[in-house]
């Protein structure tokens, strides 16, 4: 059993109605839904929401809807808790589903490709370490070991003084969560373990990792999408 759940609440504050606001030519949520469907990986694709308008937009994208409790739709609800709720609603919490795969795809991922999901699935299934998740990451543009801080007098100081004289190319590369999706085994989701502590990383190019949290982010993302996703790049 392979299921995808897109958690899309209605209470976005910095960009009101962000999950269903039109990004270029269609609702933002549709990019996530279309990527999941196009991957061909999932038996079912759902949107988990407390918002009836979002539910309607999800249905228009050709996916099913799970109505979640509003208590799991505030600013403090964790992804793991929301996905666990979906697992219980779908009756996938039995032992026979422990190794089944559930993907959580965030709703604002216009730069995610179906191929990313396929590669992550392959990586998770082929890995022998017992990792419960796989998710996309990208490399920091600068060495985090050379990070600086500013004191109250405006003076600069290194966070890690031992690395002052170390060449950047000699420092270990560091990565951060792309914030697009998590593929995980049902047993991992129900364990409450964070993907960051029990997951594999799928490295994706930095130009496809764009946080969309403010109106300025939204405008920048549209410009990048127009520039990079001409027809020959679409998958």
Note whether residue 156 is domain-resident.
Answer: no
Instruction: Provide the mean pLDDT of the chain.
Output: 94
Q: Would 89 be classed as within a structural domain?
A: yes
pLDDT tens per residue, range 7-55: 999 988 889 999 999 999 899 999 999 999 999 999 999 999 999 999 9
Q: Are strands 133-139 and 181-185 parallel, antiparallel or unpaired?
A: antiparallel
Q: Determine, yes or no, domain membership for 49.
A: yes
Within a domain: residue 118? yes
Q: Are 83 and 104 in contact (CB under 8 A)?
A: yes
Task: Please spell the DSSP secondary structure of the chain, one letter per residue.
Answer: -EEEEEE--S--TTTTTGGGSEETTEEHHHHHHHHHHHHT--SEEEEEES-HHHHHHHHHTT-EEEEPPGGGSSTT--HHHHHHHHHHHTT--SGGGTT-EEEEE-S--TT--HHHHHHHHHHHHH--S---EEEEEEE-SS-GGG-EEE-TTS-EEES-GGGTTS-GGGSPP-EEE-SSEEEEEHHHHHHT--GGGSEEEEE--GGG-----SHHHHHHHHHHHHHH--GGG--
Report the phi/psi class of residue 172: left, alpha or beta, with left for phi > 0 and alpha for psi in -120 to 50.
beta
pLDDT of residue 232: 42
CATH number, position 188: 3.90.550.10
- Is residue 189 a part of any domain in this protein? yes
Nearest to 140 by CA among 178, 179, 194, 182: 178
Question: Is 56 domain-assigned?
Answer: yes
pLDDT in tens, 60-106: 999 999 999 888 888 888 999 999 999 999 999 999 999 999 999 99
Give the number of domains in the chain. 1
**pLDDT at position 235:** 45
Query: Domain range spanning residue 64?
Result: 2-143+170-233
Q: Is residue 160 part of a domain?
A: no
pLDDT tens, residue by residue, 98-127: 999 999 999 999 999 999 999 999 999 999
pTM value > 0.85: yes
pLDDT band at 139 (very low <50, low <70, confident <90, very high): very high
Residue 155 lies in a domain: no
């Amino acid at each position: 059993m392979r299921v995808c759940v897109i958690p899309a609440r209605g209470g976005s504050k910095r960009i009101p109605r962000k999950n269903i606001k039109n990004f270029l030519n269609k609702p933002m949520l549709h990019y996530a839904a279309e990527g999941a469907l196009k991957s061909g990986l999932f038996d079912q694709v759902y949107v988990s929401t407390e918002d009836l308008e979002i539910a309607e937009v999800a249905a228009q994208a050709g996916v099913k809807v799970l109505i979640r409790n509003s208590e799991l739709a505030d600013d403090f609800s964790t992804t793991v808790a929301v996905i666990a709720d979906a697992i219980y609603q779908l009756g996938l919490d039995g032992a026979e589903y422990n190794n089944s795969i559930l993907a959580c795809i965030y709703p604002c991922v216009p730069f995610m490709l179906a191929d990313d999901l396929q590669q992550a699935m392959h990586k998770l299934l082929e890995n022998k370490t017992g990792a419960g998740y796989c998710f996309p990451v990208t490399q920091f543009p600068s060495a985090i070991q050379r990070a600086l801080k500013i004191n109250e007098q405006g003076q600069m100081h290194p966070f890690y003084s031992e690395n002052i004289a170390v060449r950047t190319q000699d420092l270990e590369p560091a990565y951060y969560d792309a914030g697009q999706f998590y593929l995980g085994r049902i047993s991992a989701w129900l364990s409450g373990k964070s993907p960051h502590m029990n997951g594999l990383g799928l490295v994706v190019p930095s130009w496809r990792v764009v946080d969309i949290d403010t109106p300025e982010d939204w405008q920048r993302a549209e410009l990048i999408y127009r520039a990079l996703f001409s027809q020959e790049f679409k998958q």
